[in-house]
Amino acid sequence: MKKCVIVTGITLALFLAIAAACGSKNGDSGSVATGKVIKTAVVGNLTATLSNGTGQLKQGDQEVTLSFTDASGKPVDVGAVSLNFHMPQMGSMTAMNDAVTFTTTSTPGVYRGKVNLGHGGEWQAQLAFEGPAGNGKTTFSVTAQ
Ligand SMILES: [Cu+2]
């Protein structure tokens, strides 16, 4: 039992070491690859960048990256982040809200998110954060295919 735990611990440590070594070689916004830009928005004195592998949101389940950078392009840890895709009521369609679930990455200020968009079209992305960089809030429009 004890042996097993130790072996797992070593494996994990090795994996993390490899991941750190690989990550440090690429990426201009730290060690986490952010993909192609979908949209940027100014929040206070920071820039929030929403990105993914294609640079385009789509209908359904998907992963996105959200990063916060200062004027020099350096990632800034903003603490707790929320992003909600909102679509107002239209005709027979009720208002929709699809929230992104975020996890932090090895780069403070860069967050990985998962969201399931109900359908394509124009969404209002409601972004907020609260933490070491203060409070910030903005809304920007983004189109999903
Ligand atoms: Cu809708």
Half-sphere exposure of 12 (CA within 13 A, CB side): 6
| 1 burial type by CB count under 10 A (0-12 exposed, 13-18 middle, 19+ buried) | exposed
The string of pLDDT tens digits covering residues 91-135 is 998 999 999 999 999 999 999 999 999 999 999 999 999 999 999
Residue 91 C-alpha to ligand 1 middle, in angstroms? 10
Residue 54 C-alpha to ligand 1 middle, in angstroms? 22
Q: Read out DSSP for 7-60?
A: HHHHHHHHHHHHHHHHHTTS-TTSSS---EEEEEEEETTEEEEEEESSS-B-SE
Residue 10 has pLDDT above 50, yes or no: no
Residue 40 has pLDDT above 70, yes or no: yes
Half-sphere exposure of 25 (CA within 13 A, CB side): 4
Stretch among 24-28, 34-38, 62-66, 68-72 having the lowest mean pLDDT: 24-28
pTM as predicted: 0.78
Residue 115 C-alpha to ligand 1 middle, in angstroms? 14
